Structure 1
Amino acid sequence: MLIFGFGPIPALGIKGAAIASVIAWAVGVAIILYILIAKKQLLSLKAGKQTVIGAIRKILKIGLPAAGANMLTPVAMAVMTALVAHHGPEAVAAFGVGSRIESIASLVVLALSMTLPPFISQNFGASHFSRVKDAYLGTLKFVMLWQFIIYIILIIFSGVISEIFGKEQAVVDVIKLFIYTIPLSYGLQGVIILSNSSFNALHKPMNALVLSVIRLFVFYIPFAYIGNELAGLIGLFIGAAIGNLFTALVAYKWFMKEIEALSSQALQECSH
């Protein structure tokens, strides 16, 4: 309504989109606070055994590195967009569409990245490391299978999707090229995302931050750049997918190593 106008409401364009975003977030926060404070009584301003400063320190210990990891993604996307821009405005437009497709195609992964960490954190606190390992591995297997199914669906409907978002044939062609390459690595990207959130659940936020740096600036962007130099736009997309492969391998090996180390440490403490 605010973008295009509705009745007495004038068309505000981009300004309308910005205002609508602020309203939506404000309403969402108000509803969440009402549920937490009034209905569930999970928040209180009364001081308990833990001081406010102590609570803030615990939150920021995990929150700051996690925020830093999240900030790296738009930086990396800006670099990727700059690389794509060398292939013309049609390629940039198609890459933007591809990014939106990625957001929708990764919804289940993002949902799991919010639900898996509490389970891992709870069992980590109880020293049930075998359950942590089983949950992590089971979730990764599901994500790999699910994202492959999503890839097949995207391939089947690639023509329809491309024509919906692209009006020019050049844009349609690049969207199809994107769909045939990068989504193949969405399962691997899911492994990275879930490993990242699981590291936070183990109270190892710096591991998650380092993993994000490795993914974006050691594998994803460098491989995309090399692919671009060797084979142009298709090489760029394939390079990005290969970058996800190598990062997923690092993430999996690293997380499993951490779990084994924590399990051994717990056994030693029990024996003493």
Structure 2
Amino acid sequence: MLNGDIAKTLKSMTIPMIVGMIMLMTFSIVDTFFVSMLGTEQLAAISFTFPVTFTVISLNIGLGIGTSAIIGKYIGSGDTVHAKTIATGALMLSALLVGILAVVGVFSIEFIFSLMGADETLMPFIKAYMVPWYLAGIFLAIPMVGNSVLRAFGDTKTPSIIMAAGGAINAVLDPILIFGWGPMPALGIQGAAIATAIAWAVCVVWILYLLAVKRQLIESRLLSLQEFIVASKGVLKIGLPAAGANMLTPIAGGVMTAVVATYGAEAVAAWGVGNRLESMASIIVLALSMSLPPFISQNYGANKLARIKTAFDMAAKFVMLWQLMVFVILVIFSGYIAQVFAEEASVKRDITLFLCIVPLGYGLQGIIILVNSSFNAMHKPMSALVLSILRLFVFYVPIASLGSYLYGLIGLFWGCVIANVVTSVLAYIWFNRNLKNEMALQTFSPVLGSEK
């Protein structure tokens, strides 16, 4: 990562991530597909859960970002001893924080989802899904942060295999637990969450064995309180702002879900399907956003800023071209996709409308995601947090809400695209100006040193 061909290095790191991310995304897509067979109310219920479940996932993503950034910089500077302690502390921290969040979540289900606009007919389905899902969220914490440790050391293949295995287990268990099979009773929407919990529990055992026994990248013991505090401070310095930035997305999503709810359960169902398809359609961007930070962190630790600029520019150009192609494909097949996920004509219509408008902004959204992950990799988490706040609450929610007020659901969809246009331009200029200033400072520092 420090001296090899940049394009080849990014390609070799990203391709395994794509496979793993596809399988990871199948958790929500497969759940949505099988739950849609239960009826529109169940589909609307699981659509309401997306902002909340993504809040828990976002905390794990943020902690993973902090872990990867700290470990990557230590590796780049040649200090692997501290990297091992940080990795152990990060795993302990993630399990603790997500556990607390899960307990709070279980006791606030009615309050949270009522605020989002869920009515009494949907609440039983939401509770049936969310209670076991919160348990699953605790199981998710360790594999997600553990995979970040592996990526920080340059291994993106193994995390992809683990994610793929988890997705496969979930896909097999979903129909069995949802609809019943043999002696197994039909659990309905609750079965989808239980399948997810089992899949992630398997991944917990796997990742801990790899990190502690086979690779010895973490301590095979719990850290002392003092060690834990020191390690946590390092991770939280970047991880908390990163988690906060990621958790703003589902909060904004919750606000937008409440806006969409004014159009009825059918619109919420379509919105939920569209958001899950967005994750699949943006798979390349998400893979790059996870493979690019270790590259940037190690080169940042080694003071090789020119390689960072080259890598970022390559990634940005590729994302724009790729997502444009994805948009064209989604428009062409929008009608067929709608038929897969919905039976009611109104839901099919809204899904088709979503796919013909919102994906136009995915490439621009990809630039924002890359800038955000790059800021975190360069130990500038507050810049990433501010960018997220601007994107979601200065542009995305206000513009989309205004579009909804003026032109209905179609105005809301176009508002999402316009918000991505404005934010991506701001993000691109901001990151390049920041990197240019650091490169100038790096060039100027040796001169000052020689004068001294």
- Post-superposition CA distance 1:91-148 (Å, at most 9, x none): 1111111111101101111111110001111111111111101111110100111111
Q: Residues of 2 paired with 1:27 and 1:246: CA distance?
A: 42
Q: Which residue of structure 1 aligns with residue 437 of structure 2?
A: 261
Q: Which residue of structure 2 aligns with residue 195 of structure 1?
A: 371
- Post-superposition CA distance 1:134-182 (Å, at most 9, x none): 1111101001111111111111111111111121221111111111111
* Aligned partner of 1:60 among 229, 232, 236: 236
Q: Which residue of structure 1 aligns with residue 205 of structure 2?
A: 30
Segments of 4+ in structure 1 off by > 4 A?
Answer: none
Q: Which residue of structure 2 aligns with residue 15 of structure 1?
A: 190
1:74 Cα shift? 1.1
1:52 Cα shift? 4.0
Correspondence 1:126 to 2:328: no
1:45 Cα shift? 4.6
Q: Which residue of structure 2 aligns with residue 245 of structure 1?
A: 421
Q: Which residue of structure 2 aligns with residue 205 of structure 1?
A: 381
Amino acid at match of 1:37: A
- Post-superposition CA distance 1:37-76 (Å, at most 9, x none): 22211112578xx944322211111111111111111111
Q: Residues of 2 paired with 1:261 and 1:73: CA distance?
A: 29
Q: Return the structure number with greater relative CO, CA threshold 8 A, min gap 6.
A: 2
Q: Residues of 2 paired with 1:30 and 1:191: CA distance?
A: 35
Q: Report SS of the residue matched to 2:303.
A: coil
Q: Residues of 1 paired with 2:181 and 2:344: CA distance?
A: 30
1:20 Cα shift? 1.9
Q: Report SS of the residue matched to 2:177.
A: coil
Q: Which residue of structure 2 aligns with residue 70 of structure 1?
A: 246
Paired residues in the alignment total 270
* Identity %, equivalent residues: 58
1:14 Cα shift? 2.6
* Aligned partner of 1:44 among 219, 223, 233: 219
Unaligned runs of 5+ residues in structure 2 are: 1-175
Q: Which residue of structure 1 aligns with residue 7 of structure 2?
A: none
Q: Report SS of the residue matched to 1:6.
A: coil
For structure 1, which segment, 87-96 or 201-210, has the greater mean C-alpha deviation from structure 2 after superposition? 87-96
Q: Which residue of structure 2 aligns with residue 159 of structure 1?
A: 335
Q: Residues of 1 paired with 2:209 and 2:311: CA distance?
A: 32
Q: Which residue of structure 2 aligns with residue 186 of structure 1?
A: 362
Q: TM-score, structure 1 length as denominator?
A: 0.95
Unaligned runs of 5+ residues in structure 1 are: none
Q: Residues of 2 paired with 1:52 and 1:271: CA distance?
A: 40
